[in-house]
Structure 1
Amino acid sequence: MNYSETLDYLFTRLPMFQRTGPAAYKNTLANTLLLDEYYAHPHRMFKTIHVAGTNGKGSVSHMLASVLQAAGYKTGLYTSPHLKDFRERIRIDGKMMGEKDVVAWVENYRTNNELWKIEPSFFELTVAMAFDYFAQQKVDVAVIEVGLGGRLDSTNIITPEVGIITNIGLDHTNLLGETLELIAREKAGIIKQNVPVVIGETQEATKAVFLRKAQEVNAPIYFADQEYKVAYATRGIDGLQNVQVDKNGEPFYRDMKLDLLGFYQHKNLPTVLKATELLNAQGFKIDEPNLRTGLQQVREKTGLQGRWQVIGANPMVVCDTGHNLDGIKEVVEQINSTPHKNLHFVFGTVGDKNPDKVLALLPKNASYYFVKANIERALDAEALKQHAADFGLVGDAYRSVNEGFEKAKVNAGENDLVFVGGSTFVVAEIL
């Protein structure tokens, strides 16, 4: 197979959550454990950091990877989903796994599987690929982002140096539970025996869940936002965020620069700072210049995209992959804080989630361009338009994401704001 044929095999022959949703989810680690055994337990060949949570886990994973790279560590990074290229999921020092490497790995798997007879999901196989590739390439450490949940996620066979749970929100409730407490129990499944864990945001509904689990397994637990806080932030003339961080109520980091421009990064930064502190306590050597460099160059060092990413000017064009209730809430807050005359909102979502709570949050004083991403799960644009009208959101439906996006740019004046979001898949298409 060539690379295109290999991707076709991965995307169409294997159950894939990104494409089909809950039908691809497997609530067992059986296949993951078999694959891990057949590949000789590659995850034991390097150190890991495990990152779970409802929102922010992608940003936190990329920020930590960038800081580790700045400190001189050969750093693997496993994240999901991808936006443009499958290989975004598996990176070493910011460089995607090579096309030839992907082809060779899948061909080897298919040959071996004639004997093994495993029927993995797309995600299960991708995790095995990442762990094996990181072992082959002899990384020093890998930052591993949880796919969905935690307890039964395919990544949850690792014993990390530090575990991280960014926050808990109501997402994937049909799989993880209908309440914050139930979802927290699933996410808490990544907390391991004697392994320190960082909780990014203290939430009354979930705090006791994490404390109880940590006590059960004797894991030191830290609530990052109880120690570190972003006191204030400004946008510098260099285009970066300039943040001031307090620790335990006292000034600690001054003039720290972030190349990630989302206001919600103020919630993620304390998590990264506490995790870095714990890594140093366990023998890593990450000094303050490494930390500052890594945080200032996240996009350059890791290739992160789609987080309040400015992709055009006059009019300003921004995209963001925030898609659940909490994510959209943060996005709307930043839209409201961004100077503009008129708002043009290119919006699409998936059909296997109830969009009502998200639609209720969206600004009513905007022109909407309702779109359907090119995946099976996407909600029909005309159906979305009609549903959105119940919430006072007015606009037109378009046959494709790009058609809606182009129309928004044509209609927008130079002092307007064009925002693209609602779904990772919508953002992927305009990038």
Structure 2
Amino acid sequence: MTYQETIDYLFSATPVFQQDGGSAYKPGLDIVEAMDRYFGHPHHAYKTIHVGGTNGKGSTSHTLAAVLQASGYRIGLFTSPHLVDFRERIRVGGEMIEQSFVVDFVERTRDLVGELHPSFFELTTMMALEYFRSQAVDVAIIEVGLGGRLDSTNIISPVLSIVTNISLDHTQYLGDRLEDIAREKAGIIKPNTPIVLGNSGNAEVKAVFADKARECSAPLILAEESRILQEATLMDIGYLYKTRDWGGIRGELMGLAQVENAATILTALGQLRDQFTFTATSIARGFSSVVTLTGLQGRWQTLSKHPRLICDTAHNQAGIALVVKQLERYRYCYAQIHIVLGMASDKDVSAVLELLPSWAKYYFTQASVKRAMPAVELAQMASSLGLKGLTYSTVAEAVDAAREASATSDLIFVGGSNFVVADLLEAYRK
């Protein structure tokens, strides 16, 4: 098979949650454990770090990878979903997985796929773990796909587990209470393995993690109590962080969520000092060059300046709340703020729309995936909440309309869904 034929096969032969939603969700570890045995437990060949949580997993995983790369280690990085290219999910040293490996792996596993019927995520998890072994990585940073306890990635035995935060998302699978979601995400805690919790949220969530950590004899470290991050100031060049242990650091990522992420990352690095060698210089380089070192996209990313065009992958209530807070700060810095918005139909769309400001100008659209809410339906829901705008059948059309209506002193924000950002970046790549 050619590489494109292989990708087409992956997306057609296995259920893909990114595209199909709930019909592709297959909780449980039986299939991935069977595949792991078949491949001889590839993740035993290197150290791993496991990163879960509701929001911030991607930024946290990529920044940790950047710091460790800057410290001289060979780093594997497995994240999801991808935005433009499937190979974004699996990287070594910041470089995407080789096309030839993807083709070879899929050809080698076709009989296994026919026997076990894995999901897309189960199969790509094993692809990543096997690729990292073939590339002789020192450590692989593995991002949880969904939840934690029953996620395919939960077969690893990490040197450190991280949960960034707990908020409402994927409630149809994980539960509709924060404590229920916390129990699922705390499922990545392993015996005698430190667990860093970024933002515990409330006493009930903290108690869930404390109980699970105690049950596993796992040291629980709360980032909000570590005091490693002392101060954060947002500048045009990114955040300036004042830290307790490593001096001043410039963070390249600019969304408000990055302050919480930075506290989590710095706390995690404090726990990793026994496993890895790094310096204040390598930490500073990782934070200031995460995009260059790892290829991270879609986190408060500026694509043009006149007008300023920003995209962000925030897609649930907690994430959008921070986006709105940041737009509020920008409101009087720009003549007009335009919002290009699309959402997945399986999200709590009403809760998100209730957060959005009525003073912005809206362009409602839909991404090119089955899970996308039709633009007309989204616009109708928004209109009932006082948010007015026209509808556009594609993200590219919506962004073009916003650009045509904008002065050079305006700001255009594009978001509401990973898929909307993906379509935007794909359009910019052409």
Coarse TM-score class (shorter-chain normalised): over 0.9
Alignment of 1:14-413 (within 5 A): 14-113=14-113, 117-204=115-202, 205-228=204-227, 229-236=229-236, 239-245=237-243, 247=244, 252-281=245-274, 283-338=275-330, 339-413=333-407
**Rounded Cα–Cα distance in structure 1 between residues aligned with 2:103 and 2:335:** 49
Alignment partner, residue 11 of structure 1: 11
CA-CA distance at 1:231 after TM superposition: 1.6
Deviations along 1:51-110, whole A, 9 cap, x unmatched?
000001110000000001011110000000000000000000100001111111111111
Segments of 5+ residues of structure 1 without an aligned counterpart are none
CA-CA distance at 1:296 after TM superposition: 0.9
Identity %, equivalent residues: 48
SS in 2 for 1:156: helix
CA-CA distance at 1:335 after TM superposition: 1.1
Q: Normalising to structure 2: TM-score of the pair? A: 0.96
Aligned pair in 2 of structure 1 residues 408, 111: CA closer, same or farther (>3 Å)? same
SS in 1 for 2:165: coil
| 8 A Cα contact 2:234 2:254, kept in partner | no
CA-CA distance at 1:112 after TM superposition: 4.8
**Rounded Cα–Cα distance in structure 1 between residues aligned with 2:103 and 2:111:** 12
Supply the AA of the counterpart residue of 2:211.
Answer: R
**Rounded Cα–Cα distance in structure 2 between residues aligned with 1:334 and 1:113:** 45
Supply the AA of the counterpart residue of 1:298.
Answer: V
**Rounded Cα–Cα distance in structure 2 between residues aligned with 1:152 and 1:83:** 24
RMSD across aligned positions (CA): 1.1
**Rounded Cα–Cα distance in structure 2 between residues aligned with 1:92 and 1:30:** 27
**Rounded Cα–Cα distance in structure 2 between residues aligned with 1:180 and 1:428:** 29
| 8 A Cα contact 1:231 1:243, kept in partner | yes
SS in 1 for 2:154: coil
| 8 A Cα contact 1:309 1:320, kept in partner | yes
Supply the AA of the counterpart residue of 1:143.
Answer: I
CA-CA distance at 1:294 after TM superposition: 0.9
Supply the AA of the counterpart residue of 1:226.
Answer: E
**Rounded Cα–Cα distance in structure 2 between residues aligned with 1:113 and 1:369:** 42
CA-CA distance at 1:351 after TM superposition: 1.0
CA-CA distance at 1:230 after TM superposition: 4.3
CA-CA distance at 1:253 after TM superposition: 4.5
| 8 A Cα contact 1:81 1:89, kept in partner | yes
Deviations along 1:11-32, whole A, 9 cap, x unmatched?
1221110011011111211110
SS in 2 for 1:51: strand
Aligned residues: 421
**Rounded Cα–Cα distance in structure 2 between residues aligned with 1:266 and 1:291:** 15
Q: Which runs of 4+ in 1 moved over 2 A?
A: 111-114, 252-255
| 8 A Cα contact 2:29 2:152, kept in partner | yes
